[in-house]
């Protein structure tokens, strides 16, 4: 289950919905770069981990009410609050689509800015 809400006061800016099993919640990366050196080795610079490197790829069964709110947040809210798996983030919906196969699903990608709690 996931909760999305507008950071600013918005009567139409909150929604809670179940996500499907093809959603990815735990993909993240470290801030690492590798540069080749002239002696055949390399230099690795590790800037560590940040919640800002996290991306949530979410999928849920199509529901007109859920889609209307998510579309509103996508188009009108600069930043949103995201609550998932006991964590609370600030982020932005970067992509939103409806996938039509045997069943319709709502697909969205959320780029995390920071972890609040």
Q: Which of 25, 42, 7 is nearest to 87 (CA)?
A: 25
CB 109 within 8 A of CB 95: yes
Amino acid 16: pLDDT = 96
Domain 2-115 = CATH 2.40.30: yes
* Residues of the chain above pLDDT 90, percent: 78
Amino acid 101: pLDDT = 83
CB 19 within 8 A of CB 66: no
* Model confidence pTM above 0.75: yes
Give me the residues of the chain with pLDDT under 50, please. none
Q: Hey, where are the domains in the chain?
A: 2-115
Q: H or E segment at 98? A: strand 87-100
Q: CA-to-CA distance for 26 and 18, rounded, in angstroms?
A: 16
């Amino acid at each position: 289950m996931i909760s999305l809400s507008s950071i600013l006061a918005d009567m139409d800016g909150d929604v809670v919905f179940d996500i499907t099993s093809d959603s990815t919640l735990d993909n993240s990366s470290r801030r690492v770069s590798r540069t080749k050196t002239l002696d055949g080795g390399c230099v690795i610079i590790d800037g560590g981990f940040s919640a800002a490197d996290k991306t949530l790829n979410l999928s849920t069964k199509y529901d007109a009410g859920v889609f209307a709110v998510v579309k509103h947040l996508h188009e009108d809210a600069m930043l949103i609050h995201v609550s998932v798996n006991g964590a609370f983030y600030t982020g932005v919906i970067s992509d939103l689509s409806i996938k039509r196969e045997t069943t319709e699903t709502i697909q969205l990608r959320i780029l995390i800015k920071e972890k609040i709690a």
